[in-house]
Amino acid sequence: MDILHAIILGIIQGLTEFLPVSSSGHLEIAKVLLSEENVMQSSMLMTVVLHGATAFATIYIFRKDVSEIFNGLLSGVRKEVNFSIKVILSMIPAAFVGIYWDKEIENLFNGNLILVGYMLIITALLLYLADRAKSTKKNVSFLGSIVIGISQAIAILPGISRSGATISISVLLGVDKEKSARFSFLMVVPLILGKMAKDIISGEIQFSSTESLPLLFGFISAFIVGVFACKWMIKIVKNSQLKYFAFYCVIVGVTLITYQYVNS
């Protein structure tokens, strides 16, 4: 993979990890459009690096929150302890799916555009419903964190937006929109870092020194774009503007389905 393609994938990941349009779905589209064999071969390592970049972008944006959570845990502050427990509960469904169906999930990431198309339409429906929900001041409950976690597990499918699904479900459960976005972005950080550690320790990822520059540029572009996209997404959720992304997901989803049928 050359540097230009790495930067393109980084920009796509940085935008779509936070904007509710499915990062995995758009990366699959990009891989098909770039249509290079070496892109497909190195995609697993690049995917890990790009997800790591957006995880660090999240930590950077919410660095004050992360610091308060750690300090609160060390001091035994009930509010921060409860928040951490909710994050852990939200991780269980996705961790379970990742452990027991890891290989099956990987097989879905093979340029299956028709699957991406249908899942984008489902994402659009969730976004539209969430946008119409009334604003409240409620926090995420313990039971709610598990339900949101289940939506995160389902969002492993390419085309289902993780941020879109978790924020939408959270809002539909009656949680304050800004708090929904905050919880959605923070809950995924431990999961991404854990998945990265698992992939590296397992030895399944092969690294060559010739990939260093593309990986570096991909990481930097995903991190920088991710920082701006994260800030933008928080404003979008607060201002009830998710419907515009719902329209986008429908357009892209229908286009992909039509393209796949025409070319099958």
- pLDDT of 36: 52
Q: Given the structure tokens 């845990």, which residue do they identify?
A: 73
Share of the chain above pLDDT 90, in %: 44
Pick the closest to residue 159 from 1, 58, 15, 28 (CA basis).
Answer: 28
Which structural domain, as residue segments, surrounds residue 148? 3-262
Structure tokens of 188? Answer: 């995924």
Number of domains the chain is built from: 1
Per-residue pLDDT, 212: 83
pLDDT for the residue 1: 66
Helices (H), 76-141: 78-100, 102-108, 113-131
What pLDDT does residue 206 have?
Answer: 63
What's the CA angle centered on 144, arms 141 and 146, to 5 degrees? 120
Q: What is the pTM of this model?
A: 0.85
**Structure confidence at residue 82 (pLDDT):** 92
Burial 215-251 (b: 16+ CB within 10 A, else e): bebbbebbbebbbebbeebbebbeeeebeebbebbbe
Q: Could you give the CA distance from residue 85 to residue 101 in angstroms, rounded to a whole number?
A: 25
Residues of the chain short of pLDDT 70, as ranges, are 1, 34-43, 108-111, 203-210
Burial class (CB in 10 A: 0-12, 13-18, 19+), 135: exposed
Is 261 buried (19+), middle (13-18) or exposed (0-12) by CB count in 10 A?
exposed
Q: Could you tell me the two tokens for 163?
A: 């941020």
